[in-house]
Amino acid sequence: MRASSSLVSPPRIGLHCRNAPLLRPVLFVRPFCTEIAEGCLGSGSKRRARGPVMAGKKASEGAKQEGKYKHTVDLPKTTFGLRANAVVREPEIQKLWEDHHVFKRVADRNTGGSFVLHDGPPYANGSLHMGHALNKILKDIINRYKLLLNYKVSFVPGWDCHGLPIELKVLQSMDEDTRRELKPLKLRQKAAKFAKDTVNIQMKSFKRFGVWADWDRPYLTLSPEYEAAQIEVFGQMALRGYIYRGRKPVHWSPSSCTALAEAELEYPEGHISRSIYATFKITSAPPPSCHMLEEFFPELCLAIWTTTPWTIPANAAVAVNAKLEYVVAEVHHALEEATISEKKQTKAGRFLKISERKPFVIVASELVPMLESKWGVKLVVKKAFLGSTLENCRYVHPLNGKECPVVLGGDYITTESGTGLVHTAPGHGQEDYITGLKYGLPIVSPVDDEGRFTEEAGEFNGLEVLGAGNAAVVKCLDEQLSLVLEEPYKHKYPYDWRTKKPTIFRATEQWFASVDGFRQLAMDAINKVTWIPAQAENRIIAMTSSRSDWCISRQRTWGVPIPVFYHVHSKEPLISEETIAHVKAVVSKKGSDAWWYMSTEELLPHKYQNNASEYYKGTDTMDVWFDSGSSWAAVLGKRDGLHFPADLYLEGTDQHRGWFQSSLLTSIATTGNAPYSCVITHGFVLDEKGMKMSKSLGNVVDPDIVINGGKNSKDQPGYGADVLRLWVSSVDYTGDVLIGPQILRQMSETYRKLRGTLRFLLSNLHDWKTENSVPYDDLPKIDKFALYQLENVVKTIQDGYELYQFYKIYQIIQRFAIVDLSNFYLDVAKDRLYVGGSASFTRRSCQTVLAAHLLSIVRLIAPILPHLAEDVWQNLPFEYITGDGSIGKFVFELKWPVPNESWLRMPADDVDLWKTILELRSEVNKVLENARAGKLIGSSLEAKVYLHASDGDVTCRLQELCTAGNEADALHRIFITSQVEVLNSPNTELVTSVPYTGNYTDQRTGEIWIGVSQADGLKCERCWNYEPQVGSFADHPTLCARCYDVINMQPLPAAAGIS
Ligand SMILES: [Zn+2]
């Protein structure tokens, strides 16, 4: 029994069976519309509109009497499945696209300009998460929309392949001995293999999302041609003087033994530092200040505060703000120690405990009360003066006894915390470094790669600065009577985003890109780019205007080498046009491995080869942000069909300080232009409650499981890619977005209903031919109004795509294609479609409207739901000729719907009338519902509706509709009742005798009275409408006049013979 099984699971549909004869006559007798009703047409319509359908159903059940006219009823039929069966069906559709090279063919054939969305490369490490899905699907929606708009779309997917995480993964996979023996080249081979394997895994997932791209030729940052292009970017920047080598404090990760970029840091909550207040004794003051201060010698101290006591050995100065007021205060041990010890974990130093003397401290005047309470002392102010007075005073370093100066720092010195005097260690802080340059201070950084003190730090040698070293420094300061107070301090502190361990600031020899050299150019370029959302511009401006020089060197193996040679004796670096060109040529042929396996002599250009022994090659690699930041040069500038700048970059909001910025800087420095015309940013994906997803919370939504289903198919059904894509379209991605089981269920429900609507359209066009179209001018008003609404929807949806506001499209589709259409036009259409007569005008004009809806909706949704759109297209029961005269075999061979201005020009009066009728109809439905509840009627077809309008003009217009000759506009068809009578005057007797009444009031129409009673006449066997004429036709005594005409006009179709 194939029939019943087909009710449970829709027939599997071959991809090429469009226009093939229907093999399942069983569809004809299925209670088809019961499913449609559940699928898309709402429960209300199920009750009211099942007349002809029930006739068909009963016929199928063999009810002899009622089956007499079943072959004259045009029941819907289609090969398009009710259920998506996406887990099976979507891969079939993707294979179809792939086999026919649909993306490439359509992009090549399109005659509009080229559109280039340049892909930001995901990191080739691990499997994909929801953020990747959001990102790539957004890109695909845009690309597919542009494809429909006739653009030549090229989308080259990329992967970021170098860098520490991959290097660490490779290292972690080995035992200690193997690791020690490991040569750089071997490590690089393993890292490359790991990256390529990951690329393949991720690519498979991206394809399954339905993303169209040049998957056969992606860009990988490890490919020789990419590396060569990157070396060229570096070379050009170097030759323009934007690259320099310097000893500067950089973010350094002791746990990874490398410098880190801003974008490689994170600032976890809850970091606590050991903060200390310490004093440095003043030894001398220059002449003018001398008079003022000497009375306090030798007990006069500078008080400082730091959260990194381990940097005190590198202290080279104390900085003050020239414009702030400072005081000399006498420290009175007025308040007892008890005050301090009450506070948890706060420890007073010996500076406060020696009570036989009263020392003097210099602090910012504004901070005196705060310090009194913190230290538990009384500070008696003796003198006040501006910070500038203190310049060039000298103090003795409490640990090494050296004399150091007081210097003037900048506005970074405030009275928000601390003492207003800043301990300055130019080797360990950015601002300190700048102040140090101004005063020629030594850049001391007695810390090694692993974060341990070096010999330079004397007694602390070998101690870890973030552990024992820190403690030892605090202890030593206390012994020197310098320590005032130690207390835990909670603040934002940079951590290595990979190892999750704290970083330090440390001066090392590094390569830098001098952002100052082209900052203004970059700021000007930002101004010319379109930023979506608009506030993103402020973010990139803030980050670009404040960023310091970019440290681009890393002390790691898995990366592109910094192509620099050093002189053996002078250590002077060698970079010239020739060296860059030569290295670039070598790398483009052999890949960057060559830097490791070729000799310096081979790597040097001819000009230097005779002196090769005087040089050695550098061992630093480039920051991976320089890799990905060069993609515009390696991809946009090199591939056919692409152009520079790209039309669009689209990434997460964190890329303002990552890829958007590194791309901007390299591009500005070498070309003077931004690499993009428009930049879109999206937020992060959180769980349904707005929490970050994490394995430990168990709230991770895995895109692969969303699509293919999880272990438990009840909790984790396979929704398919389109449901995931529908979710992407539904969220306002400019902020953080939420996803979880509940949201996915809602999406799946929306998808199911939309599929139901499309199935209704397809199944009622099974006998449709384009040449049967009714010309627009001949259409009934209800059909013109439907096209007017459709055209407005097309326009609004196009606006949504143009502005990249997909959630608006989602809302319109949900409201229009699922609710509005089903509740009205399609609901009313069933009568015309099923019993209006196969070749009748009323059915064909309705089919004209349905075809227009199908052809529009399928294109409107195609960018978001490409699989659904293609599934519809492959089941299209008629041929569609595209603009170039060929048959559209795939949905993307169509173009975006051409605007039908005439459809929009429906007279305003008519539009108003139909809007009124829609509202009136829902009031009528309420009264019908009451009548049904009161058992006066069963289905709405058993009812007759009375209307009386207080406004004469409205009465006329309603009467016009009542007597509409075209069936379609007739009011009783619109209300799905058997009769409607518009009363000229309120007939009191009638009004009081009608059992169910209601009212509709509107400014335009005034009051309209609604009454419902039982319909006149008998029930027509064929269409279930009640009519006085039923019984008056001798040859067909059970038919109404309409059906009688239809039967007489319609010869018995061949299908009648089937069952
Ligand atoms: Zn009838």
pLDDT tens digits, 171-211? 888 887 888 788 999 999 999 999 999 999 999 999 999 99
Residue 50 Cα to ligand 1 middle (Å): 13
Residue 1024 Cα to ligand 1 middle (Å): 6
Residue 923 Cα to ligand 1 middle (Å): 26
Residue 1023 Cα to ligand 1 middle (Å): 4
**Tell me, what's the pLDDT at 55?**
45
C-alpha dihedral over 754, 759, 764, 767, to 10 degrees? Answer: 140
Residue 983 Cα to ligand 1 middle (Å): 25
Residue 244 Cα to ligand 1 middle (Å): 90
Residue that wins the pLDDT comparison between 38 and 295: 295
**Tell me, what's the pLDDT at 2?**
30
Check pLDDT > 90 for residue 1057: no
Segment 549-571 shows an average pLDDT of: 93
Residue 1026 Cα to ligand 1 middle (Å): 8
Residue 611 Cα to ligand 1 middle (Å): 103
Spatial CB neighbours of 974, under 8 Å, sequence gap ≥ 6: 782, 828, 917, 921, 961
Residue 945 Cα to ligand 1 middle (Å): 18
Spatial CB neighbours of 411, under 8 Å, sequence gap ≥ 6: 321
**Residue 897 and residue 798: Cα distance in Å, rounded?**
10
Residue 636 Cα to ligand 1 middle (Å): 66
Across 19-23, 384-388, 1017-1021, 1022-1026, least confident range: 19-23
Residue 66 Cα to ligand 1 middle (Å): 12
**Residue 284 and residue 302: Cα distance in Å, rounded?**
12
Residue 941 Cα to ligand 1 middle (Å): 11
Closest alpha carbon to 994 in 976, 1004, 1006, 1009: 1009
Residue 1029 Cα to ligand 1 middle (Å): 10
Residue 1035 Cα to ligand 1 middle (Å): 14
Spatial CB neighbours of 442, under 8 Å, sequence gap ≥ 6: 316, 426, 436
382 membership: H or E segment, kind and range? strand 378-386
**pLDDT tens digit string along 431-447?**
898 888 888 888 889 99
Residue 620 Cα to ligand 1 middle (Å): 87
Q: Rounded to the nearest 10 degrees, what angle do helices 130-148 and 721-730 cross at? A: 90
Residue 1017 Cα to ligand 1 middle (Å): 12
**Tell me, what's the pLDDT at 262?**
74
Q: Based on C-alpha coordinates, what's the Rg of the chain?
A: 40
Residue 965 Cα to ligand 1 middle (Å): 16
Residue 1021 Cα to ligand 1 middle (Å): 7
**pLDDT tens digit string along 649-692?**
999 999 998 999 999 999 999 999 999 999 999 999 999 999 99
Residue 853 Cα to ligand 1 middle (Å): 28
CB–CB of 86/720 below 8 Å?
Answer: yes
CB–CB of 553/621 below 8 Å?
Answer: yes
CB–CB of 295/358 below 8 Å?
Answer: no
For 587, the token pair is 């790398």
**Tell me, what's the pLDDT at 1056?**
39
Segment 972-985 shows an average pLDDT of: 94
- Residue-level length of the chain: 1059
Residue 836 Cα to ligand 1 middle (Å): 9
Paired with 189 in beta bridges are: none
Residue 571 Cα to ligand 1 middle (Å): 100
Residue 764 Cα to ligand 1 middle (Å): 19
Residue 1020 Cα to ligand 1 middle (Å): 5
Residue 779 Cα to ligand 1 middle (Å): 23
Residue 759 Cα to ligand 1 middle (Å): 26
Predicted confidence band of residue 298 (pLDDT cuts 50, 70, 90): confident
**Tell me, what's the pLDDT at 355?**
63
For 835, the token pair is 């019993």
Please give the biggest Cα pair distance in the chain. Answer: 131
Residue 1025 Cα to ligand 1 middle (Å): 6
Residue that wins the pLDDT comparison between 51 and 479: 479
Residue 44 Cα to ligand 1 middle (Å): 22
* Phi/psi of residue 207, nearest 5 degrees: -65, -40
Q: How many CB atoms lie within 10 A of CB 873?
A: 25
**Residue 536 and residue 544: Cα distance in Å, rounded?**
12
| Percent residues over pLDDT 70 in the chain | 92
Residue that wins the pLDDT comparison between 831 and 353: 831
Residue 834 Cα to ligand 1 middle (Å): 11
CB–CB of 351/440 below 8 Å?
Answer: no
Q: Rounded to the nearest 10 degrees, what angle do helices 224-239 and 577-590 cross at? A: 170
Residue 846 Cα to ligand 1 middle (Å): 18
Residue 954 Cα to ligand 1 middle (Å): 29
> DSSP label at 484?
E
| Percent residues over pLDDT 90 in the chain | 71
For 208, the token pair is 């399954």
Residue that wins the pLDDT comparison between 340 and 273: 273
**Tell me, what's the pLDDT at 344?**
63
**Tell me, what's the pLDDT at 64?**
40
Residue 122 Cα to ligand 1 middle (Å): 64
Segment 248-256 shows an average pLDDT of: 90
**Residue 998 and residue 930: Cα distance in Å, rounded?**
10
Residue 1047 Cα to ligand 1 middle (Å): 10
Q: How do 360-364 and 300-306 pair as beta strands?
A: parallel
For 503, the token pair is 């970083």
Residue 947 Cα to ligand 1 middle (Å): 23
Residue 1018 Cα to ligand 1 middle (Å): 10
Residue 1046 Cα to ligand 1 middle (Å): 9
> DSSP label at 613?
G
∠ Cα 955 957 961 (to 5°): 110
C-alpha dihedral over 630, 631, 637, 642, to 10 degrees? Answer: -160
Residue 67 Cα to ligand 1 middle (Å): 14
Check pLDDT > 80 for residue 876: yes
Residue 737 Cα to ligand 1 middle (Å): 53
Residue 1045 Cα to ligand 1 middle (Å): 9
**Tell me, what's the pLDDT at 1049?**
79
**Tell me, what's the pLDDT at 975?**
97
Spatial CB neighbours of 416, under 8 Å, sequence gap ≥ 6: none
**Residue 876 and residue 17: Cα distance in Å, rounded?**
9
pTM: 0.81
Closest alpha carbon to 676 in 546, 531, 513, 523: 531
Q: How do 317-321 and 403-409 pair as beta strands?
A: parallel
Check pLDDT > 50 for residue 350: yes
**Residue 875 and residue 17: Cα distance in Å, rounded?**
7
Q: What is the mean pLDDT of the chain?
A: 89
Check pLDDT > 60 for residue 10: no
Residue 1030 Cα to ligand 1 middle (Å): 8
Check pLDDT > 50 for residue 4: no
**Residue 529 and residue 277: Cα distance in Å, rounded?**
48
**Tell me, what's the pLDDT at 120?**
97
Residue 831 Cα to ligand 1 middle (Å): 10
Amino acid at position 890, single letter: F
Q: How would you class 21 by CB atoms within 10 Å of its CB: exposed for 0-12, middle for 13-18, buried for 19 or more? A: exposed
Residue 962 Cα to ligand 1 middle (Å): 17
Residue 934 Cα to ligand 1 middle (Å): 26
Residue 61 Cα to ligand 1 middle (Å): 20
Residue 1041 Cα to ligand 1 middle (Å): 7
Q: How would you class 819 by CB atoms within 10 Å of its CB: exposed for 0-12, middle for 13-18, buried for 19 or more? A: middle
CB–CB of 843/833 below 8 Å?
Answer: yes
Residue 267 Cα to ligand 1 middle (Å): 75
